[in-house]
Amino acid sequence: MEQAMFAGGCFWCMVTPFEELPGIQGIESGYAGGTVENPTYEQVKTGTTGHYEVVQITFDPDVFPYERLLELFWPQIDPTDDGGQFQDRGPQYRTAVFYYNEAQREAALASKERVAASGRFAGPVVTEILPAPVFYRAEEYHQDYHKKNPKHYKEDREQSGRDEFISKHW
């Protein structure tokens, strides 16, 4: 098993594209990249801790290659927005691909180059490719939020503008 970590804005919206696929063993919502150990949602949402909202995915690379995870990641985000994602603004909602080894780093850089060269976007692709920092699992109520709170999740997602952007650009 290997791990992958992606920041794509609100972590609630970054679970569903990866779940229930062959070779995906688990997806956890959490925080990474900040200066506070064991941060809480209340701390991270202030935008002052330096953390990203992330998903950490445990996967079997023989069944579901890392490159396929990257192919699923990019169409979930606006890679040209460095101020957050859609209605979620602030540094905690920045986008990034965090890599755990050199092969992941190389694959992530190559995929970013392909997205940048695709001509889909007017602006530059600003999503960073960074070494994986410590992952802090988010509070239990954030795990599988879309299943626990389907009505609120659906309303939040509809209001966010994410789906319109995805439809237009991908």
Does the annotation mark 13 as catalytic? no
- Three-state DSSP state, 13: helix
Residues in the chain: 170
Catalytic-role residue among 4, 5, 7, 10: 10
Give the HSE-up count for residue 145: Cα atoms under 13 Å, Cβ half-sphere: 20
DSSP per-residue string spanning 54-91: EEEEEE-TTTS-HHHHHHHHGGGS-TT-SSEETTEESG
> So which residues are the catalytic ones?
10
